[in-house]
Amino acid sequence: MSTVATATAKEVFDLLHEDLAAIEREFGQDAVSAVPAITEISDYLREGGGKRIRPSLLLLAARALGYSGKGMIKLGAVVEMVHTATLVHDDIIDAADTRRGRPSTNRTWGSSKCVLVGDWLYMQAFRIALSERKFRVLELLIGLTQQMVEGELMQMEKLGKPISESEYNDLIYRKTACLFEVSMRLGACLSGADRPLEDALGEYGRSLGLAFQIIDDVLDLTATEQVLGKPVASDLREGKATLAVIHALENGILPADRTRIHTVLRDRTFDYVSHEEILRILNCNQSVAYAMNTAYAYAATAQAALAVLPDSDYKRALQWMPEFVVARDK
């Protein structure tokens, strides 16, 4: 599907290694407050790691357009900080016990402190973004945060109920793709790109994010706990219908199978219908294949959106991302 040779994981890692290390240092310095609880919780979250995919996108977008200033380090830390703030608040809402294999912050520090630390991280992210003195940057970040917050509220309303494919698309856009899109747009902004160019890179981020989340949701259904490193089928156990499940429900499966899926969603447990049984239904109806193909299509859309960029190592790294995202097994 690509038009130029794509990079390898190693090449991308080498390409971004120094910039990402600088972002890590920036985040570490930015998330220091006179209030010890803030610094403590921020450090805990930062040390918890994560793929740093959002700052990587921002760096690649900026560098692919010839930018090399300090702004990309600052805004790279900003997108990671916004991401972290949403995780802190989401963990409170889901009453999560763990995050990335460690106790969640609300578990360790209590929900009250975590509400405030999440607020603080949002504000700190905006404060750093403000220092770039670009209204467009603030517009993107504030709009993004609002979309994500609305998405989380929409998801709460839908728990335990089947949703349509278009509702699912909207939810995963808000949950994941919106921040991927904004990361790309911010990189474009820094380089002084005009709106059509920013839009093209935004389209890349959006499509990549949708592919990323669809695959995440498929893996939650199909992977083993051993490979995934966390409990599987957590979406269904939380009452969340994801693409393969929606496809099965919308595509004329046997009424008995439909009832089985509804039962799991409603009861949020595999006590009455097993996880294996659900997988059998999804595979019978080609629903997992449908979800995978949808992700492949988004990955191809992402790659096509890169046609606006001049050839470079950074463009090749961007070409590689969608392939990596759809091929991963965890």
Does residue number 314 form part of the binding site for a copy of itself (CB under 8 A)? Answer: no
Which residues between 231 and 260 bind a copy of itself (CB under 8 A)? none
Closer CB to a copy of itself, 143 or 231, in the complex: 143
Whether the CB-CB separation of 272 and 266 falls below 8 Å is answered with no
Stretch touching a copy of itself by CB under 8 A, among 12-20, 59-67, 129-137, 203-211? 129-137
The pairing of beta strand 102-103 with beta strand 98-99: antiparallel
In 3D space, the residue among 67, 38, 18 whose CA is nearest the CA of residue 312 turns out to be 67
Choose between 143 and 229: whose C-beta lies nearer to a copy of itself: 143
Shortest Cβ 85–a copy of itself spacing (Å): 9
167 near a copy of itself, rule: CB under 8 A:
no
Would you count residue 300 as binding a copy of itself (CB under 8 A)?
A: no
Stretch in the footprint of a copy of itself (CB under 8 A) among 17-25, 35-43, 56-64, 234-242:
35-43
User: CA–CA separation, 185 vs 302, rounded Å?
Assistant: 14
Six token digits for residue 251: 């595509």
Q: State which of residues 120, 168, 180, 320 lies at the interface with a copy of itself (CB under 8 A).
A: 120
Tell the smallest beta-carbon distance from residue 126 to a copy of itself (Å). Answer: 5
In angstroms, the CA 231 to CA 53 distance is 22
Interface with a copy of itself (CB under 8 A), residue from 17, 25, 100, 127: 127
Is residue 139 part of the contact set for a copy of itself (CB under 8 A)? yes
Q: Scan for tokens 């949703």, then name that residue.
A: 163
Residue 171 binds to a copy of itself (criterion: CB under 8 A): no
Q: How many residues bind a copy of itself (CB under 8 A)?
A: 38
Q: Is 87 in the site for a copy of itself (CB under 8 A)?
A: no
In the bound state with a copy of itself, the residue whose beta carbon lies nearer, of 105 and 145, is 145
- With CB under 8 A as the contact rule, the residue among 54, 74, 113, 206 that binds a copy of itself is 113
152 is a contact residue toward a copy of itself (CB under 8 A) = yes
Residue 159 touching a copy of itself (CB under 8 A): no
State the nearest-atom distance from the C-beta of 159 to a copy of itself, in Å: 11
Q: What's the rounded Cα separation, in Å, for the pair 39 and 92? A: 19
Find the binder of a copy of itself among 112, 224, 251, 259 (CB under 8 A).
112
40 is a contact residue toward a copy of itself (CB under 8 A): no
Least Å from the CB of residue 54 to a copy of itself: 18
Token pair for residue 204? 């890349």
* Residue 123 engages a copy of itself in binding (rule: CB under 8 A): yes
Q: Which is nearer to a copy of itself, 135 or 276 (CB)?
A: 135
- Tokens standing for residue 283: 């595979």
Nearest approach, Cβ of 311 to a copy of itself (angstroms)? 37
Q: Which residues bind a copy of itself (CB under 8 A)?
A: 33-35, 37-38, 89, 92-93, 111-113, 115-120, 122-124, 126-127, 130, 133, 135, 138-139, 142-143, 145-146, 149-150, 152-154, 156-157
